[in-house]
Structure 1
């Protein structure tokens, strides 16, 4: 598979994600502003997506919009997490209590993928979108997932990810020591990853496609750090109340 083919596939996904964020018809100019693609590439991409039936083009308004085919392509997928309802309750109540962004994540190779999020209303906030991904090394939620792996696997992921990580993971020995520290507790808190943010995270007694799920509360470090213990206690309380007893 050529590099151009991979790039084209990535651009298809990114264009559809722009529509998912805006939830409204968009012109080519608006899509160009959102993606910063070359105009010639966007023109060819939109023509292909329209011809394939994934986008509808209104010649009067010059706007594009995804068709039902986009919805139908994934309509057969059922939520692989049967615990989704109680997890949603935990996330909702945690967001209401803490006032900060609450996210649900899962390991996806060397990255963490956010499956759901309840956004904070604060102007300065920790913002994540469902489907967003980042290095496991760049997230408190990623650290707690890493800490549950064996040493050899942690080393492999560290070596593959550290050169592109924005965190201060340090050298391998110091990072392994951090993983030991996190492994000894039921939570993880890291400050300034990303910069000026702090996230308290904890594993949930549930899995997504066989992989452990993690929940996190994140926000501006000056708000989160003084309340991290309070947030942890609330997370434990909500898990105890809402998680099925045969899982806890």
Structure 2
């Protein structure tokens, strides 16, 4: 005999709530499978028609995945495309079976060659740089510096973020810095002239280097990661204790440039 109450699981979650969670997870997987099938950027309308989703649900899902760094959105064309963060999810499985030249394998090799320093891959997420993939030692030399995958760092204060800013025009940089400074504590705000001067140096030297600008005692050396035009710009960096980076900076820079040489050779240049 029915009591009229919703079915409950042991933790107090209703069967309807569980069904909703399962449905959301299913839609995320279906969305990425549909991108894999189409192999091109897609609009909200494309996904609504192709997957038979309600417009509101599709829009909310796309915006959430973009905010998390799994999709990139072209505002002018109104098209979405998966980022390399998606590809790196299962990259380790493919590496074990087939590939010796994949990006995740490259990052693993850099981690080993640097003596166990943290190796990070970052891309822009609004006014931040997001670490979409990284390898680090289980016990960092700086105890307070543990990086969680997906972590956000200020664009203008992190080495990876400055690499990404160096690809932009001065006007774009000023617009972003205005928004960044609005979110920062007063003592952390940057002057436009100081940032533009630093970006000019990065464009000339080909790398960014920071010490203690995000975490005390920690520095990061970063360069641009060559990416195809369909993907947003990315930065690849090595991070560790400041004293170690000062001593080995030239060696780390050589490691980064050597590792990226095959990617530079096969990636078309001319990104704006």
TM score, norm. by length of structure 1: 0.66
Residue aligned with 1:53, SS: helix
Query: Unpaired segments of 5 or more residues in structure 1?
Result: 1-26, 29-45, 56-66
Root mean square deviation of aligned Cα = 3.0
* Greater relative contact order, per chain length (Cα 8 Å cut-off, separation 6+): 1
**Distance change in 2, residues 1:48/1:107 (3 Å):** farther
Aligned twin of 1:53: 19
Distance 1:224 1:188 in 2: 13
TM score, norm. by length of structure 2: 0.61
| 1:75 and 2:29 are equivalent in the alignment | yes
Which of residues 219, 226, 236 is equivalent to 1:205?
226
Q: How does 1:55-204 map to 2 (within 5 A)?
A: 71-76=25-30, 77=32, 80-81=83-84, 86-98=102-114, 99-125=116-142, 126-165=145-184, 170-194=190-214, 195-204=216-225
Q: How many residues align?
A: 192
1:102-123 C-alpha deviation (Å, 9 max, x unpaired): 1111112211111111112443
Structure 1 residue 52: Cα displacement: 4.1
Distance 2:153 2:26 in 1: 28
Residue aligned with 2:163, SS: helix
CA contact (8 A) 2:228 2:267 kept: no
1:6-47 C-alpha deviation (Å, 9 max, x unpaired): xxxxxxxxxxxxxxxxxxxxx98xxxxxxxxxxxxxxxxx84
Query: Unpaired segments of 5 or more residues in structure 2?
Result: 1-9, 37-81, 92-100
Q: Which runs of 4+ in 1 moved over 4 A?
A: 46-50, 82-85, 166-169
Distance 2:233 2:208 in 1: 15
**Distance change in 2, residues 1:49/1:191 (3 Å):** farther
